[in-house]
Amino acid sequence: MSISAAALAARPLEQRSRRPAHPAGVRAYAGTLDMMGAPMSFSRNEEIYGESEAAEYLYKVVSGAVRMYKVLADGRRQIGAFYLPGDMFGFEPADAHASSAEAIGDVTVLVFKRNAVLSLAARDSDVARRLWEMTARELDRSRKHAFLLILSAQERVASFLLEMAARSRTSGEIELPMSRQDIGDYLGLTIETVSRTLSQLESVGAIAVPTARRITCNSGTLSRLNAC
Amino acid sequence: MSISAAALAARPLEQRSRRPAHPAGVRAYAGTLDMMGAPMSFSRNEEIYGESEAAEYLYKVVSGAVRMYKVLADGRRQIGAFYLPGDMFGFEPADAHASSAEAIGDVTVLVFKRNAVLSLAARDSDVARRLWEMTARELDRSRKHAFLLILSAQERVASFLLEMAARSRTSGEIELPMSRQDIGDYLGLTIETVSRTLSQLESVGAIAVPTARRITCNSGTLSRLNAC
DNA sequence: CGACCATTTGATATGGATCAAGCGATGTGG
DNA sequence: CCACATCGCTTGATCCATATCAAATGGTCG
């Protein structure tokens, strides 16, 4: 668990924003919101924002993957969501973050001033609508996540794989950006259980695992084990 | 589990709206949104809306309590949220409900046409902001709920009691509107475990349980068992 | 008073956690 | 270029928290 490394990276956002003029992979964006975003990069395990920090920014993933999580006093960690390219994150009902966010691998995001977005939304009802839609979609994801956590280990892992497959829209083959520990902390399982369950799904022919991070899903068989 | 009774009540919303002109407990409301609400009553275990029904309305609880839930094919049920007087519910990112909602006891709600609210929001940025805030608050609740589900039984029950105590703002004494089964389905535990855990919390002096539905909390002691 | 339903309590079973090794890939220094 | 250290993952053995099965208790309503 790279908590200490992350904590180390927790300096004020301003200091970090030595932003390259045109970072790799950032194209010209059309939407009003997208125009405002400043590109910014984070390296593996670097903290993007920390719990109880002021929620000054909204983020949109350009490349890489992000984990949003909370840690309890005794070290238990729950990952509340993974964010993949195209996803926005950083929404908070309050002015302070209730969770932390870290780069899983190297990550590029677009950063938006929360206040700027909010005041823009106050004037432009279209922006307001999009803001609401994104929050509502996030709510939907969160509810689905909560729903996962009452299922059996096999159902949780199957649902997770189906979710990732759907989101990375490379039907079949998925390249997991996160470790088994991350998966476990997202699903409320230990790494051992995640690993065993994957092996079991493989032996049943629901998936193939050519390398640890690459999984080929048999969506039909997986869905049948899924219970949702 | 009153599933069959609920299913029985699943007739179109229009048919149900033999609304009394001035149902008990409905005061005059000031806000723009509140002005538009039509009061409506539901009796114990009556369905308010069903999964995959069109999400045509938003609701605000006036009196009573509501459970929002999903049921799996094999009968497992998860309650995603409880709504108490003052809470709004029925927000959905899509046009169809992803869950069902039922009256726990007798309930009075105000009903709002979703389209009317949305088009009002498109014109009035203040309404739009309130809509967004409510959705964001709901998101926050959902995340907290997901977080609950990775804790131990004792931590879940303690958190639940603290949440209910905070929401019913009658510090100390809480009157639970829901059954042990409801609590279990909300916390991802069986009724037996809920019951045992309450007994145990009582024996430790963290709570008193004069009657099954009435619980006196020792917030200090409870928080210490809470881990959050 | 009696029937019914919700809740509590007890006995046992089990899925996943924990503890403990082993394995394979990746990277580093000699 | 290879030996070795490291790290992430897998597999095995055992334990424990909670589920399940079963029965007793209590509260409510006819």
B66 touches strand C (CB under 7 A): no
Which neighbouring-strand residues pair with B174?
A: B215
Work out the mean pLDDT of chain B and round it to a whole number: 87
Whether residue B111 contacts residue B59, with contact meaning beta carbons closer than 8 Å, is answered with yes
The 3-state DSSP class for residue B132 equals: helix
Q: How many residues does chain B have?
A: 228
Residue B32: left if φ>0, alpha if ψ -120 to 50, beta else—which one?
Answer: alpha
| Tokens encoding B59 | 């609701």
Work out the mean pLDDT of chain A and round it to a whole number: 86
User: Can you give the distance from the CA of residue B191 to the C1' of nucleotide C5 in angstroms?
Assistant: 14
* pLDDT value for A5: 33
d(C-alpha A159, C-alpha A165), whole Å: 10
CB contact under 8 A, A139 and B137: no
* pLDDT value for B34: 55
In sequence order, which residues have a C-beta less than 8 Å from that of residue B149 and are 6 or more positions away?
A146, A149, A150, A188, B156, B187, B188
Whether residue A160 contacts residue A222, with contact meaning beta carbons closer than 8 Å, is answered with no
d(C-alpha B145, C-alpha A150), whole Å: 12
Please report which confidence band the pLDDT of residue A41 belongs to, taking 50, 70 and 90 as the band edges: very high
The shortest C-alpha distance from B23 to chain A (Å) reads 32
Residues of chain B with pLDDT > 70, as a percent, come to 85
Please report which confidence band the pLDDT of residue A23 belongs to, taking 50, 70 and 90 as the band edges: very low
d(C-alpha B121, C-alpha B130), whole Å: 9
A92 Cβ under 8 Å from any chain B Cβ: yes
Tokens 């959902």 correspond to B142
Q: Which residue has the higher pLDDT, B206 or A16?
A: B206
Per-residue pLDDT tens digits for A135-180: 999 999 999 999 999 999 999 999 999 999 999 988 789 999 999 9
What secondary structure letter does DSSP report for B188? T
**Burial readout B107-121 (b: 16 or more C-beta within 10 A, e: otherwise):** bbbbbbebeebeebb
A-chain CB neighbours of B136 within 8 Å are 91-93, 135
Query: Residue B125 class from Cβ within 10 Å (0-12 exposed, 13-18 middle, 19+ buried)?
Result: middle
**Cα distances (angstroms) measured from residue A9 to each of A42, A106, A168, B66:** 10, 14, 29, 44
- pLDDT score of A126 more than 70: yes
Per-residue pLDDT tens digits for B109-150: 999 999 999 999 999 999 999 999 999 999 999 999 999 999
Of A96, A99, A82, A106, nearest in space to A166 by CA: A82
- pLDDT score of A3 more than 60: no
Per-residue pLDDT tens digits for B185-202: 999 999 999 999 999 999
Per-residue pLDDT tens digits for B76-95: 999 999 999 999 999 888 89
d(C-alpha A13, C-alpha A125), whole Å: 29
Half-sphere exposure of A120 (CA within 13 A, CB side): 17
Half-sphere exposure of A67 (CA within 13 A, CB side): 27
Of B131, B145, B149, the CB nearest to A188: B149
B-chain CB neighbours of A150 within 8 Å are 76, 78, 149, 188
CB contact under 8 A, A145 and B146: yes
| Tokens encoding A184 | 């476990």
For the entire predicted model, the pTM comes to 0.87
Of A92, A125, A136, the CB nearest to B135: A136
* pLDDT value for B35: 61
Please report which confidence band the pLDDT of residue A111 belongs to, taking 50, 70 and 90 as the band edges: very high
SS (H, E, C) chain A: CCHHHHHHCCCCHHHHCCCCCCCCCCCCCCCHHHHHCEEEEECCCCEEECCCCECCEEEEEEECCEEEEEECCCCCEEEEEEECCCCEECCCCCCECCCEEEECCCEEEEEEEHHHHHHHHHHCHHHHHHHHHHHHHHHHHHHHHHHHCCCCHHHHHHHHHHHHHHHHCCCCEEECCCCHHHHHHHHCCCHHHHHHHHHHHHHCCCEEEEECCEEEECHHHHHHCCCC
B-chain CB neighbours of A136 within 8 Å are 91-93, 135
What's phi and psi for A88, nearest 5 deg? Answer: -105, 150
A98 Cβ under 8 Å from any chain B Cβ: yes
